[in-house]
């Protein structure tokens, strides 16, 4: 019997790190589940 499962992931995927600035207020910019990146301006 053959398996139809996809191959295992052997490399990490990039994750978006971004902030939004609207009327001088920042929002977003954290990525705690991957590398803990946090951004502030």
- Going by C-alpha positions, the residue among 20, 17, 19, 18 that lies closest to residue 35 is 17
pTM here?
0.33
Question: What are the tokens at 2?
Answer: 């053959």
**Residues 17-39: pLDDT tens digits?**
677 788 988 777 666 566 666 66
**Residues 3-21: pLDDT tens digits?**
677 767 666 666 666 777 8
Which residues are registered as beta bridge partners of 4?
Answer: none
Tell me the C-alpha distance between 14 and 36, whole Å. 13
């Amino acid at each position: 019997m053959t398996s139809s499962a996809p191959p295992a992931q052997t490399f990490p995927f990039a994750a978006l790190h971004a902030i939004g600035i609207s009327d001088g207020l920042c929002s977003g910019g954290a990525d705690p589940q991957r590398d803990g990146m946090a951004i502030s301006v």
